[in-house]
Amino acid sequence: MIDFLRETFLQRSLSDWISYLSPLDVCFAPVNTLPEALDDPNLRAREMLLTDEAGRSHIAPSIRFRHEPAMPVLREPLLGEHTTEILAQAGRSQPTQSVAG
């Protein structure tokens, strides 16, 4: 089946397949690269992109509650920022710092 589909889809360009499938009552979409996905007009129309302080794009939470808005943190955690909480959840204590001498 995979070989059949691969051979069939290679017979036309992506734009030809989109033109062919668009008027039909079928659900389809091309597989996009991440940059293509982030540039998708539907993603932008639904305000699904957030920009952090460094100008990097992030995908917004897709489920939105009117009275409980999502509050994503758009930065990577600092080194060791969550160590204590993660160790506590694992039932472990804070590791001791050793000084190489």
Per DSSP, the three-state class of 50 is strand
Work out the average pLDDT over 4-28: 94
Mean per-residue pLDDT of the chain: 88
Does residue 17 sit within a domain?
A: yes
pTM equals 0.50
| Number of domains forming the structure of the chain | 1
Task: Please give the residue range of the domain that contains residue 28.
Answer: 1-61
Which strand (E) or helix (H) includes residue 51? strand 49-51
The residue whose two tokens read 């952090």 is 52
Give 99's pLDDT tier (boundaries 50, 70, 90).
low
Does residue 87 sit within a domain?
A: no
Does residue 101 sit within a domain?
A: no
Does residue 100 sit within a domain?
A: no
Contact 92, 81 (CB under 8 A): no
**Rounded Cα distance, 93 and 86, in Å:** 10
